[in-house]
Each structure stands twice: as C-alpha cells, then as structure tokens.
Amino acid sequence: MTDTLRLTVLYFAWLRERAGIAEERVEVPAGVATVAALVTWLAARSPGHASAFADPGVVRCAVNQEFADPGSPLRSGDEVAFFPPVTGG
C-alpha cells in the first residue's frame, strides 16, 4: 500500500498553453482519488494551472486514453489528460 498516487498528466490545446506545460509527472496524496479532486489539486500548483482550470465546466478529461468524468476514480500509474471539448473533422 502506498499513501500517494503517481500520475502522468497531459494538457492539450489551450489548457497546455495556459498551464505552460504539455506533460508532467505528479505525486498526489491518496485522498486525491477522483478526476475532480485532481483538478482542484492541480489548479493550486501555479497561476498557469489555475488559469487552465479556471472554468472546470469546459474542461474535458481522459484517463488512460478513455474519456472520463469528474467522478472517475484514479489509480497510481494512470495517465490523465485534460483538454477542451474536441473540434476535429
């Protein structure tokens, strides 16, 4: 048992620009067990992160390359990506 989670966090499009980083590895307290909790934790990391997550309602997420919800659980080793609503095609 470990009391922290090691996560890889990716940012795309304007979230990457605002956060000022494309990818980072973070170690979060075990209490940060959902996507929503991770957003709150990340937003406190820097003014850039705060700006990226200023309106969580427009932020979309994928955990291990699958679309996820704010309530989705996190496990150590997960790859968590944050991005705006998609605009391909």
Partner 1 sequence: MARILVQTQDFDTGAELARMTAGRRDVGGIGCFVGTVRDTAAGRKIAALNLEHYPAMTERALARIVEAAERRWTLLDCTVIHRVGRLEPGANIVLVLAASAHRQAALEATAFLIDWLKTKAPFWKKEEFLAGGEAWVAARESDEAAAARW
Residues that bind partner 1 (CB under 8 A): 10, 12-14, 62, 65-67, 79, 81, 83-89
Following DSSP, what letter does each residue of 11-45 receive, concatenated? E-HHHHHHHT-SEEEEEEETT--BHHHHHHHHHTS
* Smaller CB separation from partner 1, 30 or 58: 58
* Least distance between partner 1 and beta carbon 3 (Å): 28
* Least distance between partner 1 and beta carbon 11 (Å): 10
Residues facing 26 on adjacent strands: 7
* Smaller CB separation from partner 1, 3 or 89: 89
* Least distance between partner 1 and beta carbon 72 (Å): 15
The Cβ of residue 78 has, within 10 Å, a number of other Cβ atoms equal to 18
